Structure 1
């Protein structure tokens, strides 16, 4: 019990690396005060409180503070936090806006790639081709493509026959072979197929556009959108949807994200900004590359948005079931502690005191969790269910225990685990030394080459 009263590793990182020492003491002290508060805890929840108070709380606080500063400087008066990762950001924003008395509105936009991409479809360009065919480790099936396009196997069967892909009609769940990719690319350029997709998506387009209008995206108030980020797919789809409906702002959309990957999708004159990393302009930091860790930390307490419908004159989001009951309590802890941290920090620190060193501190905190999870963190968070495709039809544990042989098999590309978090898997498999070796490997400049030529994705 008394050991828990000392600083955690996350609090030590904050205290030692925030430049202004009074602020460092305050922010790390808030984390510690919330962590050791006297609350009933179930077995295994100590790690969750450590992560919620020492990592999620400060990381969300720093990001949302950066976001609010950007908005105020640019004259933006509304922020739309995109579902689902934006839910926890919005809660923190409400706390900061209230305490700091800022003239800005924080709203939540129910959306997802699934709810935006098909309604925004007009023709198959590079962006559309990417979301239609993307699959983990370059694997995709005709069945999954049909799900993304809202088509049945019967509707796509004639196109498969004409495109040299008829063998997949009888086994649509089979991954499309690499040698058949050229035929798939030709099929997706067929104007008859594009016409069918537009016809099927037209009712979805009308309802989605009405939802955006209902949520005041067209009322003239300057706004930006915010989310975890990675490739900007949702922002592109929003812009494309507005463009299709003739409602896109002439100046484009502005998106501010936790992080952006190298291959970002940008529609027209849209702008995208990032807080934690922006690998369009800097080398990839592979110690931060496991995006599922951030998505897990910022999980919402509701299921994904898969569409919209009109109900009594109001457009309401259609939500899938929450993916797993066992993580509801963990998600609730994250949300509660993040909000509590934001409120307590804002009460003692003025809005204008933002320090640019926060970004590097945020990266250090994130690397500690991703690359060096404790045994308890790896056990609790390694069982978190994740899905690799946007329809979320393939939930599995994000970091199953992994021994030496399984790790080597994955490393050479013969055994592929979707979305896996290798450091936590190795810790769960009692391979801590191998975990340290793997982290050293992440620092080498050959990793891009390794992904391209060995793993081939």
Structure 2
């Protein structure tokens, strides 16, 4: 174990070569020893958090922003780092943590656009059940039971519904008056709380502001802008992200700012990055925002179930990462925000993250692979981040199997993993082969998406 951990640290030190400043900061921290979590925090996660925050502060100040809203829950640790930097560097920025979620932003609007509501409720995922679909609409347990009885679908509440059958579910829901009445009732009830909370947090004030989030598709920015426009805000929010794979239809590309990769560039970082792992790590020590309630003159967010293990994990992450952030803040106070250094450090961060995310050690998978993860808008039904897959199940996630599955010639993979690379290491058989196959799959997938995005931009320019 000790030799394996020392070899892993040497690999990270190799990735740091050419960046003496970052290497010096890490070397000045207490030794991680045989603790894989401490090592990953020191060599990968803390530098990533620190350098992203410096990039964020430099560009938001340059654009004249005065207030930043860090979106729950991915923005929790980002906000903690930003607050420390702003205090140390005495920056003229106000940093606020905004409690919201896709669920808390969408529910209040369901009664205004039934078609869009049904699209959101019946979207695909890794583990979609009928009970989960009805819960997405805000229905209570009793309402879900009554609606399920009226739908007469061939699945029980907890059965996984095949992706190809989701449109049938959508059609049945559209014809079910009990469901539509319940959904619209909960939606109308949710709107005053959301509007009151957003106004309370200053999002209707005429202050140059922006949101900060991990990213991926930018749907939260679009949803917030729709809510705020209905409340009278005239200037759309801009957003700053770690990375974006795509943008919502009709989005203004100039309002979405990316650190690591964007829809039209950053192919290599996309291939050697795992957004599910990033999201499972950069989270908050509280449950998902499910709505808002008024307490006297104040609006408070309501959180879902809190997980004690996750909360303890996040608090330990923060304790392990903040010493690096403090050292970086002290150095930056002397040198100032330097765009050349920020760009150089980003390349180092990409190497470190690629090693951790796509070729993890066995100890790292044991430490991070058991984190609960779900890609659904609601909590519940979480699976281990690195699901324990057999060799057959790993092979079903290879390029050619997935291509044939898309064509309908063979079945879609029965089981998938949010952190496939971690599952490969956990399985322990033919590791290099499976990782190579998955890298090839991601290269094809993201190359195709990137080319489609660029073609779309060229078409838009021709029409302008």
TM-score, normalization by structure 2: 0.81
Aligned pair partner of 2:20 in 25, 29, 45: 25
The question of 1:148 aligning with 2:132 is answered no
Q: How far, CA to CA, are the matches of 2:182 and 2:157 in structure 1? A: 19
Structure 1 residue 436, shift from structure 2 partner: 4.0
- State how far apart, in whole Å, the 2-side matches of 1:167 and 1:174 are: 14
Asked if 1 retains the 8 angstrom alpha-carbon contact of 2:148 and 2:157, the reply is no
Q: Partner residue of 1:335?
A: 318
**Counterpart of 2:26 in 1: which secondary structure?**
helix
Q: Gaps (5+ residues) in structure 2?
A: 402-410, 450-464
Aligned in 2, Cα 1:175/1:430: closer, same or farther, shift over 3 Å? closer
Matched, 1:364 2:351: yes
Counterpart for residue 453 of structure 2: none
Aligned residue in 1 for 2:432:
433
Distance 1:373 1:11 in 2: 15
* Contact 1:371–1:439 (Cα < 8 Å) also in 2: no
**Corresponding residue for 1:103?**
92
Which residue of the other structure, out of 349, 373, 384, is the alignment partner of 2:360?
373
Question: Residue 36 in 1 paired to residue 31 in 2?
Answer: yes
CA, structure 1 residues 449+272, in 2 after alignment: closer, same or farther (shift >3 Å)? closer
CA drift at 1:51: 1.0
Tell me whether 53-62 or 402-411 shows the greater mean CA deviation: 402-411
1:362-388, Cα deviation, whole Å (9 max, x unpaired):
222221111110111011111111123
**Count of matched residue pairs:** 429
Please state how far the C-alpha of 1:287 moved relative to its aligned partner: 2.8
Mapped partners of 1:92, 1:342: distance in 2? 7
The two structures, once aligned, show a CA RMSD in angstroms of: 3.4
SS at match of 2:330: helix
1:21-50 deviation line (CA, Å, top 9, x unaligned): xxx22222212322417xxx9xxx711011
CA contact under 8 A between 2:239 and 2:256: conserved in structure 1? yes
Q: Give the aligned partner of residue 455 of structure 1.
A: none
For 2:20 and 2:362, locate their aligned partners in 1 and report how far apart those are by CA, in whole Å. Answer: 28
- Counterparts of residues 264-303 of structure 1 (less than 5 Å): 264=248, 271-281=255-265, 283=267, 286-303=270-287
Alignment pair present for 1:315 and 2:304: no
The Cα offsets for residues 332-380 of structure 1, whole Å up to 9 and x where unpaired, read as 2321233221221121133332322333322222211111101110111
Q: 1:82 to 1:260 in 2, by over 3 A?
A: same
- Note if 1:64 corresponds to 2:48: no
- Which residue does the alignment assign to 2:113? 123
Q: TM-score, normalised by structure 1?
A: 0.82
Instruction: Give the 3 Å change call, closer, same or farther, for CA 443–142 of structure 1 in structure 2.
Output: closer
Shift, 1:399, TM fit: 0.9
Deviation string for 1:172-214 (max 9, x for gaps)? 4444456654444545667977676343212211101101111
Q: Is the 8 Å Cα contact of residues 5 and 36 (structure 1) preserved in structure 2?
A: no
C-alpha contact (below 8 Å) 1:259/1:275 kept by paired residues:
yes
On the 8 A contact 2:222/2:248 being kept in 1, the answer is: no
Tell me which residue corresponds to 1:234. Answer: 220
Task: Supply the distance in 1 between the matched residues of 2:213 and 2:271 (Cα, whole angstroms).
Answer: 21
User: Is 1:10 paired with 2:12?
Assistant: yes
Q: Secondary structure at the match of 2:225?
A: helix
| Cα separation, 1, equivalents of 2:261 and 2:138 | 35
Q: Distance in 1 between matches of 2:269 and 2:253?
A: 27
SS at match of 1:315: strand
Q: 1:12 offset after TM fit, Å?
A: 3.1
Deviations 1:420-456 (A, max 9, x none): 3121111122233334433552464367789xxxxxx
In the TM superposition, residue 4 of structure 1 has moved relative to its aligned partner by 5.7
Q: Give the counterpart of 2:414 among 413, 416, 423.
A: 416
Asked if residue 384 in structure 1 is aligned to residue 371 in structure 2, the reply is yes
Contact 1:292 1:419 in 2 (8 A): no
